[in-house]
Homo-oligomer: A and B are copies of this chain.
Amino acid sequence: MKKIINEESGKLVERSVINAITIDCVIFGFDNGVLEVLLVRHAEGIMKNQWGLPGGWITEKESTDDAARRLLADLTGLDNIYLEQLKAFGEPDRFPLGRVITIGYFALIKKENYDVKAGFTASEAKWYKIKDVPELIYDHNEILDYSIQHLRNRVRNAPVGFNLLPEKFTLLELMQLYEEILGVEMDKSNFRRKILRMKILVALDEKQKDVSHRAAKLYEFNQTVYNDLTKKGYNFEF
């Protein structure tokens, strides 16, 4: 902690301010009907060998959004990801070695597009099923819990869930995604009608392959219709 110049008055003011901000990313993936989160194991420091959310420092010239994108790109190896700021976590004792506020980010990725490899100060990176998440460093369990809650809310008010699925998916896969995230059971038939009426999906001339039952039609997401719907404040309640 240090005394700093009050930027408002230009005068030196006797006031302690915090001097560090980090970014932590909650990266969700979806695999075989199960929601997963990407965690890393720390390679050094007092938290060595413990699991936490991937994160890092902000550099001087980048925005917090850019920092999150950079950290994510370094970590998952790809950009063009659905990314959204969660909020800042600022409990004074959240970080044991000093006052550090972290800005949480929230990403949804199509798992099969990315080959996750550990980088940074991480010795290992691994997808965990939500229910198998171990105890994490600092307040990272709290950040994760908040993210899950946030995901549940977002998914009901905007079609962000699509970002977790492959480009082409079946209606049942989509429904299972909602079921998993919201923790509810749905009726196949009703889900079908509802989502199709929204016109947010485009039916492809293509079907599932290598399945041991009737192959389902594949769909893709229609960005244009989504934009229209969100402007009108559409509601994805299921």
Which residues of A does B touch, CB under 8 Å?
1-2, 4, 6-10, 15-21, 42, 44-47, 57-65, 67, 85-88, 90-92, 95, 97-101, 103, 121, 152-153, 156-157, 233, 235, 237
Contact = CB atoms under 8 A, between A and B. Distances in A.
Given A58-B17, A63-B91, A92-B61, A121 B45 contact: no
Contacts of A6: 45
A79 B45 CA distance: 41
A15 B59 contact: yes
13 contacts: A7-B20, A7-B97, A7-B98, A7-B100, A8-B42, A9-B45, A10-B46, A10-B97, A18-B21, A62-B92, A63-B90, A64-B88, A87-B87
Contacts of A19: 2, 4, 17-20
Copies in the complex: 2
Contacts of A42: 8
A18 B10 CA distance: 18
Contact of A18 (B60, B65, B97, B98): B60
Interface on chain A toward B: helix, strand, loop, or mixed SS?
A: loop
B16 A59 contact: yes
